[in-house]
Structure 1
Amino acid sequence: MSNQALMEVELYTFASSSANFYLTPHEFDVDLDGNLYKSLALERNELALGAEAAKSALELKLPPDGDLVRHLLAASLTGEITSITLRIGRRDTWGDFWWISGTRWMGRVLGVEVADDVARIRCESAQVSLKRIGLRRLYSRNCSHVLYSAACGAPPIFSSAFVSNTSGRNVDLDGGVPAGLSGGLAGGWLQTPQGLRHMILADYGSGVELLYPVAIEAGTQVVLTVGCDHSTATCSGRFGNLDNFGGFPFIPIKNPFSTGVF
């Protein structure tokens, strides 16, 4: 369908404290109220009809190499919250002028998963989160704090290195993983000079394995930041931060409702 024939479009706004993104799944950009909604191959799940639509979970599929995906991956490491709003834009019948006709869905991004050819973004409705009763922290044995966040309080452990070669998700480093970081980079990230952060799944002596493939030129200096498995052993041994541990490691293993109290 051509730009001139289409009278209604979907407009997505992703907003956080550090960046805003304006996207539309249609074949053309939409300039509205001073914001340019850029065309992107964006797909979503079907939402419920009527009053239940606003409560539905929203799942999006999009290319994995865009700025939004990189931002959300970095935000997942820092704990930064990104809100999302789905609005409907309509075109005037007498001219090429767009206006907002209503809001279809509002909520926040819960997480992003990246595969070889697609990224999936999971979102929760604002109505669902507002109706949730009580505190929202998880009751778990492992710590629920975001690493290096204000609640965590641990000082970042990092070092720089030079890239010697990249192959898919693997990044080899000149001289291997820096001393003191070997075995501790899983859950951390690799940061490029442009400020892009790539999550590290594991280190293997001569380099690191990332969450998704990257192309970094040989000779590029990157910063490697240590990760955490959110256990008491790592919190104490690696960071000396047990006073701020946010988990409940002594939750009873036996369930009294299935095994009895004694």
Structure 2
Amino acid sequence: MTTETIELSDALGEPIELYRFSYGPGVGTILAYTDADFAITHDTITYQPVAGLDREPIVASQSLDRSDMEIEIDEQAEIAQLFLVYPPSDVVGLTIFRCHWDAEAGAITTPMAVWIGSILSCKRSGYLAALHGESVDTSLRRTGLRWHWQYMCPHVLYGPQCQADRNAHSITVGVTSVDPRTITVSGLIEDQYRGGVVSWQPLGLPLEQRTVLGIVQNAQAGTSTLTLAGAPRHLEPSESVELAKGCRHTLGDCRDIFANAPRYGGMPYIPLDNPHGTTRIYN
């Protein structure tokens, strides 16, 4: 029996929804849930039942494909725990499928995608976590950032416009201790790594990255304490991390540290004196 036949029937419909969260590359980073009371396998992915799974109703309107979505789920679910301490390093995508349970065949009908987007934030209320999702159409229609006439370089360090070689400006250091907002690593780390990125690869999980906000050297112990922008999740002492240099987004850093002056995106030669002002430029 097809999905269309069940949809048009008066009493055969038993709608089931499948929620596929994708976090990073690979099948191992897919979290799949269903609002049914039993596990369902579709496209080699097993969707597990979870308590409290619900969503806002889809409103039929001209902006249907651009509507945001709020999904409620048990706060102990893995997808909710992913947002518990610090937002994920990668975008969390969500696809909601809808199908029916065909009692005669003992299987689901062909699932159809009813909503596609990404999860932006998570808040908690009681024993539930509310995930706020934005549709993919909304993100595609959003106006991009404008390139202003400014001194500082607007490019993201190591990004597609910057194109600085991250591997050439990274070092690998060992972790000696881990705290909620800091990690201590072996060696005296230069101040140039302030504003850089520390990254590590947890076993079987996506890459974790944090911005380095501060560096405190301990010359006597031969270690450095790095203050991070978020909690170092899935990181243990004795493991190694990769530390990439930071950039002050000035022409000096771009030229002298990264040898990347031709791709500098700022305007370092903007005059400081207004020729139409009251200050005399020429005597």
TM-score (norm 2): 0.60
Aligned mates of 2:18, 2:188 — CA distance in 1: 47
What whole-Å deviation, never above 9, does each CA across 1:131-181 have from its counterpart, x for those lacking one? 568xx453345555443233321011111211111121211112343xx4x
Contact 2:196 2:244 in 1 (8 A): no
Q: Which residue of 1 aligns with 2:80?
A: 63
The amino acid that maps onto 2:179 is S
Equivalent residue number for residue 46 of structure 2: 36
Corresponding residue for 2:197?
188
Matched, 1:214 2:233: yes
Any conservation in 1 of the 2:202–2:235 contact (CA below 8 Å)? no
Distance 1:39 1:173, change over 3 A: farther
Which of residues 87, 93, 101 is equivalent to 1:91? 101
Question: Does the aligned pair in 1 maintain the 2:175–2:240 contact within 8 Å?
Answer: yes
Aligned to 2:60: 50
Which sections of structure 2, spanning at least 5 residues, go unmatched? 1-13, 73-78, 217-223, 272-283
Deviations 1:215-253 (A, max 9, x none): 53332222212234555554445423232234577999x
Tell me, in whole angstroms, the C-alpha distance in 2 between the residues paired with 1:64 and 1:163: 24
Matches for 1:15-26 after TM superposition, within 5 Å: 18-20=25-27, 21-24=30-33, 26=35
Q: Structure 2: how far apart are the matches of 1:237 and 1:122?
A: 43
- Please report the TM-score for the alignment, with normalisation by the length of structure 1: 0.64
What residue in structure 1 maps to residue 11 of structure 2?
none
Once the 2 structures are TM-superposed, how far is the Cα of residue 191 of structure 1 from its aligned partner? 1.8
C-alpha contact (below 8 Å) 1:7/1:90 kept by paired residues: yes
**Which deviates the most, 97-106 or 23-32?**
23-32
In the other structure, the counterpart of 1:225 is 244
Which residue, out of 162, 177, 182, partners 1:165?
177
Matched, 1:240 2:259: yes
CA distance, structure 2, for counterparts of residue 98 and residue 86 of structure 1: 15
CA distance in 2, matches of 1:225, 1:39: 41
Q: 1:106 to 1:214 in 2, by over 3 A?
A: closer
Letter in 2 for 1:172: T
Deviation (angstroms), 1:207: 1.8
Which residue of the partner structure matches residue 115 of structure 2?
105
How has the CA–CA distance of structure 1 residues 8 and 240 changed in structure 2, closer, same or farther, with 3 Å as cutoff? same
Contact 1:190–1:197 (Cα < 8 Å) also in 2: yes
The RMSD of aligned alpha carbons is 4.4
Residue pair 1:30, 1:38 contacting (<8 A) in 2 also:
yes
Q: Unaligned 5+ residue runs, structure 1? A: 1-5, 77-81, 253-262
SS at match of 1:204: strand
Partner of 1:260: none
Structure 1 counterpart of 2:41, which letter?
D
Give the number of equivalent residue pairs.
230
Q: Counterpart amino acid of 2:16? A: E
Whichever of the two has the greater Rg, that structure is 2
Q: Of 130, 138, 146, which aligns to 1:138?
A: 146
